[in-house]
Structure 1
Amino acid sequence: MIEEILPPKVASSEAFDDVAEATLFPQEEAMIARSVDKRRREFSTVRLCARRAMADLGLPSAPVLPGLRGSPQWPGGVVGSMTHCDGYRAAALAYATHLRTIGIDAEPHDELPDGVLDAVALPQEKEQLAALKAASPGKHWDRLLFSAKESVYKAWFPLARRWLGFEEAEITFNPARRSFTVRLLVSGPEVDGSRLTGFTGRWKIDSGLVLTAIAL
């Protein structure tokens, strides 16, 4: 499913359950040596997805270790993103000569827990969500907003190398195109000689999941 909202130059792989043959490099194993079984399984399967995407790009398998603020450390010349939630794991990679950054996120298609929306949404975003819910009540727009902001952060961090709060990006959805635009409310890094002011992304709701993706 994730490939439907990513450009053709992105290699992606997904799994809807944990994969028994998912194995780890010793460096990765050391990162989760004391983790509970659930964490181990999702950590391993999402890295299997990453290695399948590497193979699609013609790259050898390589460890994917968490770096600064947990951002994945990809092989040289590669950009990418990973995500996992209950019932879904995915990775998306591309050559840095084709894309500057990627951010993907998956969430269960359900209402956000109490209090979360207040923590992640700007007043104008709440107004938008209310209008979207009135027009299409079968979709959990609050969860879509949360997922989109997660994708924003994952796309932002490799470029800026600094934190971006939920309140520092404003998202506007286009339901007809299943897309969204992002307006950064803080100064962004320079990308190809221009100051980054925002992103565009796409979204999909299917099979009980919310998926969002940004590819710059």
Structure 2
Amino acid sequence: MIKQLLPAPVAVAEAFGDPADPPALFPEEAACVANSVPARQAEFRTVRACAREALGQLGLGPAPILPGTRGAPRWPASVVGSMTHCTGYRAAAVGFADDVVTIGMDAEPDLPLPDADVLEAVTLAEERVMLAGLAARRPDVSWDRLLFSAKESVYKSWYPLTGRPLGFDEARITVDPDAGTFSARLLVPGPVVAGTRLAGFHGGWLAREGLVLTAIAVTRDAVTSDALTGDAATSGAPRETACPPPP
């Protein structure tokens, strides 16, 4: 599903559950989840199987995908990518760094956020006004969860370019319910790529099969255009120690 939201230079693989006999992890990967509960080990294996499938689409052989700084996946040197997982869904997306600057994607259950306190913590006041309008227009989508997912995708796109955290209040999301897109206006100085300072990101979303998915991919071609210097950038990954809670 998430492939629909990403441009052609990006290779994607996804799974809607954990196989009974998943591919083995590399020893160094297995060490990262050796003390985790079985469910965590299963999702870790499956999402890395997706990552290796996506790398294979680029003509690259399997390689260990270890968590790096703040849990961000450490991809092969020539590659950028992102991984996501939630109940019933795992996915990975990768592209050659010569073609793609950064990728960020996120999957969430299509369910409302737990409560008003969480909503207030992850949104700006103007975003909450937008959410009320979206809910009145299309109550079939959990717009608050979708906005949270969009901010996760923004963070995953931002972090590989900056190495710095990005707060929920440091990007303002605008969702287009008809086009299936969203834009993120950065409220702090954006990263500089090829001499261009990015003012924001642009991505796509969909709500289907009990999931909300969001994705961003910034291509090299887009950076050299004017598309990234305004409110949106066309469409990477958060969270190190030896083995922190990895994606």
Q: TM-score, normalised by structure 2?
A: 0.86
| Residue of structure 2 in register with 1:15 after alignment | 15
Deviation at 1:8, TM superposition (A): 1.1
4+ long deviations beyond 4 Å:
none
Aligned counterpart for 2:184 among listed residues 182, 186, 191: 182
* Correspondence 1:131 to 2:144: no
- C-alpha distance in structure 1 between counterparts of 2:60 and 2:172, whole Å: 36
| Residue of structure 1 in register with 2:2 after alignment | 2
Deviates more, 1:189-198 or 1:36-45: 189-198
Q: Deviations over 1:132-176 (max 9, x none)?
A: 111111111000000000000000000011000111000001111
What secondary structure is seen at the aligned counterpart in 2 of 1:63?
coil
| Residue of structure 2 in register with 1:156 after alignment | 158
Amino acid of the structure 1 residue aligned with 2:23: A
* Correspondence 1:76 to 2:110: no
* Correspondence 1:142 to 2:148: no
Deviation at 1:196, TM superposition (A): 1.5
- C-alpha distance in structure 1 between counterparts of 2:164 and 2:141, whole Å: 32
- C-alpha distance in structure 2 between counterparts of 1:210 and 1:102, whole Å: 17
| Residue of structure 2 in register with 1:199 after alignment | 201
| Residue of structure 2 in register with 1:108 after alignment | 109
What secondary structure is seen at the aligned counterpart in 2 of 1:180?
strand
Deviation at 1:116, TM superposition (A): 1.4
- When the two chains are superposed, the root-mean-square deviation of aligned CA atoms in Å is 0.7
Amino acid of the structure 2 residue aligned with 1:123: A
Q: Deviations over 1:160-193 (max 9, x none)?
A: 1100011100000111110001100111221110
Amino acid of the structure 1 residue aligned with 2:157: A
- C-alpha distance in structure 1 between counterparts of 2:23 and 2:90, whole Å: 12
* Correspondence 1:60 to 2:25: no
- C-alpha distance in structure 2 between counterparts of 1:95 and 1:153, whole Å: 20
- C-alpha distance in structure 2 between counterparts of 1:82 and 1:211, whole Å: 12
Q: Which runs of 5+ in 1 are unaligned?
A: none
- C-alpha distance in structure 2 between counterparts of 1:34 and 1:139, whole Å: 37
Q: Deviations over 1:9-50 (max 9, x none)?
A: 110000001022221001101111111101100001000000
Q: TM-score, normalised by structure 1?
A: 0.99
- Tell me if structure 1 keeps the 8 A contact 2:84–2:105: yes
- C-alpha distance in structure 2 between counterparts of 1:189 and 1:149, whole Å: 16
What secondary structure is seen at the aligned counterpart in 2 of 1:105?
strand
Amino acid of the structure 2 residue aligned with 1:22: P
| Residue of structure 1 in register with 2:37 after alignment | 36
* Correspondence 1:168 to 2:175: no
- Tell me if structure 1 keeps the 8 A contact 2:22–2:45: no
Q: Which runs of 5+ in 2 are unaligned?
A: 219-247
Amino acid of the structure 2 residue aligned with 1:161: G
Q: Deviations over 1:71-120 (max 9, x none)?
A: 11000110000000000000000001111000010000011111211110
Aligned residues: 216
- C-alpha distance in structure 2 between counterparts of 1:36 and 1:176, whole Å: 41
- C-alpha distance in structure 2 between counterparts of 1:78 and 1:195, whole Å: 22
- C-alpha distance in structure 2 between counterparts of 1:117 and 1:109, whole Å: 15
